[in-house]
Amino acid sequence: MSKRWVVYLAAAMLAGALGGTLLGPAPVGAVAREIVELQQSINQLIQGQKDMQTTLAQNAAVDKTLMEQSMDTVNKLTGTMMALQKTVQDMQANSGARLDTMSTQIQGISDNLQETLARMGKLNQQLTDAQNAIQGIDAKLASNAPPPVATAPGAGAPGASPNGLPPIPGTPAASSAPPAAAPSADLLYSNGLRDLNGKKYDLAAQEFGDYLKFYGSTDLASNAQFYLGEILFAQQQYQQAIDAYSKVIDNYPKSFKLAPAHLKRALALITLGEKSSGVSELRMVVKSYPGTDEEKRAKAKLQELGVAS
């Protein structure tokens, strides 16, 4: 369009020059010179327009190339961000599973340590009693007391031992152990933890169940009940898991498994769709057990659900 106007302008100028030549008495040489100069100006204008069009075309090509490169870069960055996001999500999921497993293992080690310390205390007390008894016997043997009157085998003073020596203090008169067919408490509990960590859930459930059956009044009974809930939770039997956790909370009010039982019961409720009850339980964990790992996990779950703690 601009080229056309330039041509029109040049034609008008040429026509004006010719008209002036025809109308005025200008010399012929001067008119020819003006025509030549006019043609040169027109040529310069046309060349300038061509140069401008070429420059614009080159700039447009450069802009297009830069735009395409920018789009490619944005697409690559978007793909990289999506891959990173998926990797982070996978890492979070795997970390959560590993943390749950490690938490169970650490709890089992802590339980074993506490039980070992309790047994060591009892053994230490029995050793002390035995040492005191031996010292008493040595003192009597070293004294000048006359020898005891011989009696028939098996006869002696009431409460005396068959060899005629006084009974050792602290030695029970009769054992009050569970039936002979029952495995030991240590064996049942340690086997249950081993099979739980090895994901042999049916076998672990049987062992913890037997522990509660034969040793339901011991300090570790609440732990065995809690691990029954963990087994059911791992098997996605969430309603039965809720019942097992509730037994820990209701039957063992002094157990240090109360916070984990409340937390896992809340997670099971939420999984079953009972969000309101689960959220209330999570908030109770945050309020009642500050500074614990259960409080941190409860806050994280509340944040995931989009509710305030």
| Full 3-state SS string of 199-240 | CCHHHHHHHHHHHHHHHCCCCCHHHHHHHHHHHHHHCCCHHH
CA distance 188 to 224: 10
Please state, in angstroms and rounded to a whole number, the distance separating the CA atoms of residues 87 and 222.
39
Q: Answer yes or no: are the C-beta atoms of 215 and 188 closer than 8 Å.
A: yes
Burial of residue 163 (number of CB atoms within 10 Å: 0-12, 13-18, 19+):
exposed
Give residue 241's pLDDT.
97
Q: What is the mean pLDDT of each run of 10 residues along the chain (309 residues)?
A: 63 66 60 83 86 83 83 84 83 69 71 69 64 56 45 40 39 46 86 95 96 93 96 97 97 94 97 95 96 95 91
Burial class (CB in 10 A: 0-12, 13-18, 19+), 228: buried
pLDDT tens profile 165-184: 344 333 333 334 565 567 88
The pLDDT of residue 132: 57
Which residues fall within 8 angstroms of residue 131, CB to CB, at 6 or more apart? none
Supply the pLDDT for residue 64: 83
Non-local (6+) Cβ contacts of 301 within 8 A are 266, 267, 270, 282
pLDDT recorded at residue 164: 38
DSSP string, 234-283: HTT-HHHHHHHHHHHHHH-TT-TTHHHHHHHHHHHHHHTT-HHHHHHHHH
pLDDT (0 to 100) of residue 181: 65
Provide the pLDDT for residue 27. Answer: 62
The answer to whether the CB of 309 falls within 8 A of the CB of 286 is yes
Task: Give the pLDDT confidence score for residue 150 in this predicted structure.
Answer: 41
Is residue 242 within 8 A of residue 265, CB to CB? The reply is: yes
CB of 6 closer than 8 Å to CB of 46: yes
pLDDT of residue 7: 61
**pLDDT at 176 (0 to 100):** 44
pLDDT of res. 295: 95
Can you give the pLDDT at residue 148?
42
Q: Which residue has the tokens 């049942």?
A: 188
